[in-house]
Amino acid sequence: MLKIFLCDDDQEALAHYTRLIKKVAKKNKVEITISYFNSGEELLFYLADSPSQADIIYLDILMNKLNGLDIAKRLRVLGCNSEIIFLTTSQDYVFDAYDITPVHYLIKSKTTAAKFEEVFIRAMNLVSKKENDVFLCESGKNNIRKIIPFKDISFFEIWKRIVSVHYNSGESFEFYSTMEQLESQLINKGFIRIHRSYIVNMFYILQFQQNIVFLKTGEKVPIGATYTKQLKQVFADYISRTSIHECG
């Protein structure tokens, strides 16, 4: 299921691009959901706590108050890795859009149906590549297999070989593993062990308070005393690298 967000302050444009997206998706046999936003501020507010909910964001540039470029820049700072396609009536912003790494910059009056479909397929393929970066696990009780994108996982909790993976801001799934096996699967994925029973996705860390990590999802995870120093060092390096990437 491809999650598409469409942001435009023009109701006719929303209706027009909804029809185009549905037509292209049907032609290419892709299941989609479309969410609508009438302003950049509304989109920012919705994505504040979980910025990568959408697979593809179609974003108008010329809107009231904040324009689409400002919105896209703020989303990238928040950590949004959704594929962004700009929609606009003007060519004036094409070079300013480069730093946001959009899939494409579409001029509303000049974009043919064929071009729109071409860009949609390109974005869909980029999403597909990212979705290959997933965590696989299987419940021993009923043989249910879960495939969860690493970007959606906030933390893992383990107790007597039963692991709970927490994802999508509140969902969880249990499976059997050891901490050593789990850590080996998470190498270079942005996770860090902060307790003998917890591994956290550093992207979701909001703040530290004494012996607790507060996550962007609203969840709280304890910090083991022996892990505190390493956690702060590794997280500081992570923030430094992330900031450099975002500014580059």
pLDDT tens for the chain, 248 residues long, are 788 999 998 899 899 999 999 999 999 888 888 999 999 899 999 888 778 788 899 998 888 777 888 888 888 888 788 899 988 876 765 655 566 677 888 888 888 899 999 999 999 888 877 766 778 888 866 667 787 888 889 999 999 889 999 998 888 999 999 999 999 889 888 899 999 999 999 989 989 888 999 998 999 999 999 999 989 888 888 777 654 333 33
Q: Do residues 194 and 221 lie in contact, with contact meaning Cβ atoms separated by under 8 Å?
A: yes
Q: Nearest 5°: phi and psi at 35? A: -115, 145
Task: Return d(Cα 15, Cα 188) in angstroms, integer.
Answer: 42
Residue 154 three-state SS:
strand
Q: Do residues 8 and 63 lie in contact, with contact meaning Cβ atoms separated by under 8 Å?
A: yes
Q: What local confidence, expressed as pLDDT, does residue 131 receive?
A: 62
Residue 185 one-letter amino acid:
Q
Q: What local confidence, expressed as pLDDT, does residue 226 receive?
A: 93
Q: Do residues 56 and 85 lie in contact, with contact meaning Cβ atoms separated by under 8 Å?
A: yes
Q: What local confidence, expressed as pLDDT, does residue 50 receive?
A: 75
Q: What local confidence, expressed as pLDDT, does residue 110 receive?
A: 85
Q: What local confidence, expressed as pLDDT, does residue 53 receive?
A: 82
Q: Is the whole model's pTM more than 0.85, yes or no?
A: no
Alpha helix locations (H) across 5-154? 11-27, 40-47, 68-78, 113-131
Q: Do residues 96 and 71 lie in contact, with contact meaning Cβ atoms separated by under 8 Å?
A: no
Task: Return d(Cα 224, Cα 5) in angstroms, integer.
Answer: 40
Q: What local confidence, expressed as pLDDT, does residue 1 receive?
A: 74
